[in-house]
Amino acid sequence: MKLNIQNETSRLRAVVLGTAISNGPVPKIEEAYDPKSIEHIKAGTYPKESDMISEMEAVAKVFEKYDVKVFRPEIIENYNQIFARDIGLVIEDTFIKSNILPDREKEIKAIQYVIDQINPNKVYKAPSEDIHFEGGDIMIHNDHIFIGTYKAEDYSDCIVARTNMKGVAYIRSLFPKKIVKEFDLNKSMDDPRDNALHLDCCFQPVGKNKAIIHKEGFRNLDDYKYLVDFFGNENLFHITRDEMYYMNSNIFSISEDIVISEKGFTRLNTWLRSLGITVEEVPYSEIAKQEGLLRCSTMPLIRD
């Protein structure tokens, strides 16, 4: 398989889509990785496996409609394998295994059959355990790579901080010709409305030259201004704190003019259609309860 990912929006041809089959029991609070999951565990509203399977199948059907090759992870019994974006990523023709939370290492083994189809000289893994990054924090945008990180001193104690500056430096070392720009994100284990778990929880390019953004997701105002200057304020769709909480920036592009979005994102979907973009609406609000949505559960392999 010859990989090719140059940006977030070129025509999709092959993708890994996670699975909710045999997702396991409702986790204990101390087992949760993010504040939104904790919120729903406490409230008794944590998503049911049957609902999540149904939501993911709706996405699979959209991919089938657009003739996208879909790979699914091998099933690990009683284990959450929904968020395929976390475990690896493709930049250009290179597959990079993420350095993720140790408890989730087995997830990458469930897609080993996909990795085996890639030229082994194009498969990388960080050389040391203190280099941290996850796919949700990394976006390739043609000659740029945008990376979400967390620069506060409590990084090592903050479970929602997933990509460190050593991770940024590692990606930069692999792609020295790219302009790599990191963004310091706001994190909170207490309130999911103040937690940008990954960069794609507060920002994502869409269409030809547009992007969705949540200003308060950025710890450093200069990082937010960088994106305003880069895209132009008139090309940005600013989402509110509540819209960020419901994961409005975490949609997924099949092409510049086709996106998959949650059916409840009324304001966003109206804006996208005003740009001439076809919006394939799916139900995904149950999966969103785990602080991830459509981009989080997909790992693109090939775009035109």
- DSSP assignments along 102-120, one per residue: GGGTHHHHTTHHHHTTS-G
- Token pair listed for 259: 């996106």
Averaged over 220-242, what is the pLDDT?
97
Give the pLDDT of residue 33: 78
The order of strands in the sheet holding 94-97 is 88-91, 94-97, 123-125
Tens digit of pLDDT for each residue in 281-292?
999 999 999 989
Contacts of 101 (CB under 8 A, 6+ apart): 33, 159, 162
Averaged over 51-67, what is the pLDDT?
98
Closest CA to 83 of 162, 19, 158, 24: 19
Q: What is the mean pLDDT of the chain?
A: 95
Averaged over 137-145, what is the pLDDT?
98
- Residue in this structure with the two tokens 């394998």, named with its chain if needed: 81
Given a cut of 80, is residue 96 above it in pLDDT?
yes
Q: What distance lies between CA 243 and its chain's CA centroid?
A: 16
> For the whole prediction, is pTM greater than 0.75?
yes
The residue type found at 35 is: P
Residue 279 in 3-state DSSP? strand
| CA–CA separation, 23 and 5 (whole Å) | 29
**Dihedral over Cα of 197, 113, 58, 7: its sign:** positive
Give the pLDDT of residue 100: 72
- Token pair listed for 284: 């995904």
| CA–CA separation, 7 and 300 (whole Å) | 10
Tens digit of pLDDT for each residue in 97-133?
998 766 677 899 999 999 999 999 999 999 898 999 9
Strands, E assignment, the chain: 12-17, 69-71, 88-91, 94-97, 123-125, 138-141, 144-149, 179-184, 203-206, 210-213, 236-238, 252-255, 258-262, 278-282, 298-303
Do 239 and 248 contact (CB within 8 A), yes or no? yes
User: ∠ CA(136), CA(289), CA(204), 5° rounding?
Assistant: 30
Tens digit of pLDDT for each residue in 33-49?
788 999 999 999 999 99
- Residue in this structure with the two tokens 């986790």, named with its chain if needed: 27
- DSSP strand pairing (252-255 vs 258-262): antiparallel
| CA–CA separation, 122 and 2 (whole Å) | 10
Q: Which domains does the chain have, with CATH numbers?
A: 12-303 (3.75.10.10)
